[in-house]
Chains A and B, each alone.
Chain A
Amino acid sequence: MKINLKIWRQSGPDAPGRLVDYSIDGIDQSQSFLEMLDTLNEKIIKDGGEPVAFESDCREGICGNCGLVINGVAHGEKGACTTCEVRMRSFQDGDTVTIEPFRAKAFPIIKDLVINRSAFDRIMAKGGYVAVNTGSAQDANLLPVHKDAAEAAMDSAACIGCGACVAACPNASASLFVGAKISQYTWLPQGQVERSTRALGMVKQMDAEGFGDCSNHAECEAACPKEISIANISRMRREYTKALFAEQGS
């Protein structure tokens, strides 16, 4: 089938960008969306042009590296999947597809569709872990965790850090990402000791990175490939509020 594309091209972080039209024929239904772009790039290279820079790695929806805004929706309109999991089966012959990068001040564009998401790493550095040195752990079964709590923690921990929540949010807020990480540890006994410092630290860094405020549109949940609930944002706010009033060491 034939697909018309409007792809955001931008040669560098400060260069102006624009949508460029491409058209590609002979796309197969069984191809993935990124394989369609591979095919396009091969064609561009053969024609002497410079291929569209985009990122992907695992191509099975778990590494969180890929991320395009397809027709105005982060990871595409299908939902509950990453860009690499979008299949050409969901497009019709002759469709026009607009492809843009995830847009946010905190995710500066490196080139074309490639963005810098290291803001997420810096947020994680402020408490997205349980501080336990290698070797100082007790026997794992000495820390019983209710099955439901483990499941709930896993629901939050499923985040792949792709940044679709930020891309989809009308405010470019990172609340779902931060909320999910904070939530994971609220469910687990291991996470209790640093509960307050984690909530305060991660929220502070989130703000410092220049993400927008959350207005509860819940568009993030809808765009999240792992279907992480905005209940995590609610939980983050509870944690944060409690932390504001918490005494040191409690």
Chain B
Amino acid sequence: MSDAKILDAKIPEGPVQDKWTSHKFNMKLVNPANKRKHTVIVVGTGLAGASAAASLGELGYNVLNFCIQDSPRRAHSVAAQGGINAAKNYQNDGDSVYRLFYDTVKGGDFRAREANVHRLAEVSTSIIDQCAAQGVPFAREYGGTLANRSFGGAQVSRTFYARGQTGQQLLLGAYGALMRQVEAGSVKLFPRREMLDLVKVDDLARGIICRNLVSGELERYAADAVLLCTGGYSTVFYLSTNAVNCNATAAWRCYKRGAYFANPCFTQIHPTCIPRMGETQSKLTLMSESLRNDGRVWVPLKKGDDRKPSDIPENERDYYLETKYPAFGNLVPRDIASRSAKEVCDEGRGVGPTGYAVYLDFGDAINRLGKEAIRQRYGNLFSMYHEITGDDPYETPMMIYPAPHYTMGGLWVDYNLMTTVDGLFALGEANFSDHGSNRLGASALMQGLSDGYFVIPYTLGNYIASTSMKAVDTDAPEFDQVEKEVQEYIDNLMSMDGDKTADEYHRQLGNIMIDKVGMSRDTEGLNWALEEIPKIREEFWKNLRIPGDAKDYNKELEKAGRVADFLELGELMARDALERNESCGGHFRVESQDEEGEAKRDDENYCHAAAWRYLGLGDTPELVKEPLHYENVIPSTRSYK
């Protein structure tokens, strides 16, 4: 590994407040009449993808938009419950762009790029305006103005929400904008297509190879730029809060074509999920973090106390977050809440059938505000919980446990959201840029929409206007070559006729990942994972069974391709986690903690983004660093006490 190579993020000069403004002015523009001559591929239709495709279509580009779902409206952004942050300061409680910027950098534990975060905070206000204008039914006050709540770790009320379905409503807003462009003819929609590879011509990203998930045929599409808006990779853990079809395949295949993958070990384990119930469980259900506003987290003081929660008197309960973090209490950032839950459970004080759960108690809130007020705020979450577990949270405390939820890592991008492959951009959760090592609640929606509505329309124009490229169509030999490779890959997958299903390998990998590369990591475990994962991968490529035909609707083939990639990505995550011998944000290295067991960051050695460059299967990838500079928010030890 060479440390000599350093990535240039192309951050504009000037004070952080002025960077985006001056950059917008300095970037080149594409002549309005010429935009329709440029084709842009957008992969994914979540908040980032739909907003980018719609906005680029509005500008006049010829957009090709792909998604694996049957409709763009189903992208996993739809499942975000809690809300979206914006520095509107409508509540007059001291919020500002700078404070949102500050909170996000600090919340990310000083592993995010300042310039990106500031831009995110700047455009956050426009996002709310845009979404309100689209008719997103945000919660309102009686006077008709927008309502806000305080959310996960924030001391100001800056979170906008639409009941517990904020992601759905924002996505439907973006989807509406997208469908409007489809109707206008500027966006062409390709649902049920999975991007399986990137086609480069003269080292520029110029197209993709997709599998039509209905016919099984491979399809080629050419363009002047490719935008990956394909989300995160939490499903590498098998059990996560993500949708079962979420995957890293598009991003991973781009990694193998030269896009660096940054900070893969930065994953977020969400503190408030419904605990695991059984062996065949296929996913974990998230309960919105907003629940922590009114719910109090506790476990019994005594180990192995298996009394009913109502039988445990107040003085035998340990409200561990309130005691340990008096200033923030139940609202500490996600990583702290998650790790604290794991700690008390590891001590043997966990509750529920597996002992891996803690109580989230609404008793006090119900007494204080009344059942009706609680129903107003959390009605749908409570009924969801009731459905899944059979317990009524109005009567008995909820049980929660952390679950993989979001991945801060992703393809490395510069300030313009371009990866290390020219012409290949990554937006939203698919990139690594804005959340550092830990994402604050209600910031994912903000980032997806920021990238799609307000960043890429400018930076893509600059790329197109300043890059000379020849005309390319899908008959180019580069397309022949890549399609051939994809076909061989599929043939290999189909040819094994082994006796294990893709899901079985996925579960096997997931167990290793959650155990060794999950909430806390240590050298021994990571090394073990680095040995085990290749073994599973090897077996996978010998003993996989995919029924049916590749030229047909074939869910097992889809899964197999994704699991194959996870089996490589999982290894990279472990490698990255091992390499980063510090604790920061969601990445907790057992070796790096203070006397009280709090995470210890190492700014001297690790104040960088770790980007990995693919060198071939089986070869150790090269680590390339992007040093991070903090000119505004001076790194300090995060303290939520």
Contacts and interface: CB of A to CB of B under 8 A. Distances in A.
A and B touch in the complex (CB under 8 A): yes
B501 interface: yes
A134 B453 contact: yes
Interface in B542-583: 545, 547-548, 552-553, 555-556
A141 interface: yes
Nearest to B552: A111
Contacts of B71: 64, 117-118, 120-121, 161
Contacts of B191: 118, 121
Given A59-B282, A118-B191, A134-B453, A140 B129 contact: yes
A58 B242 CA distance: 7
Interface in B172-193: 172-173, 175-177, 179-180, 182-183, 189, 191
A129 B134 contact: yes
B79 A60 contact: yes
Contacts of A56: 244
B133 A137 contact: yes
A190 B278 CA distance: 47
B30 to A, nearest CB: 16
Contacts of B504: 42
A150 B139 contact: yes
Nearest to A26: B280
Interface footprint category on B: 35 or more
Contacts, number: 218
A194 B387 CA distance: 39
B76 A58 contact: yes
Please classify the interface of chain A as helix (H, G, I), strand (E, B), loop, or mixed, using the class held by over half of its residues.
loop
A243 interface: no
B284 to A, nearest CB: 9
B58 A147 contact: no
B179 A64 contact: no
28 contacts: A30-B277, A31-B280, A38-B282, A42-B504, A56-B244, A57-B69, A57-B74, A57-B245, A58-B76, A59-B282, A59-B285, A62-B79, A63-B76, A64-B74, A64-B78, A124-B179, A130-B133, A130-B135, A137-B132, A137-B133, A138-B129, A144-B140, A145-B137, A146-B140, A157-B162, A157-B172, A158-B163, A188-B137
Given A124-B175, A137-B129, 20 more contacts: A30-B277, A34-B282, A42-B501, A42-B503, A46-B545, A59-B244, A87-B388, A111-B553, A124-B179, A125-B179, A131-B180, A134-B55, A134-B453, A135-B454, A137-B126, A140-B88, A143-B132, A157-B169, A161-B73, A185-B135
Interface of B: 51, 54-55, 58, 69-74, 76, 78-79, 88, 90, 126, 128-135, 137-146, 162-163, 165, 168-169, 172-173, 175-177, 179-180, 182-183, 189, 191, 214, 243-245, 277-283, 285-286, 384, 387-388, 390, 453-454, 457, 499, 501, 503-504, 545, 547-548, 552-553, 555-556
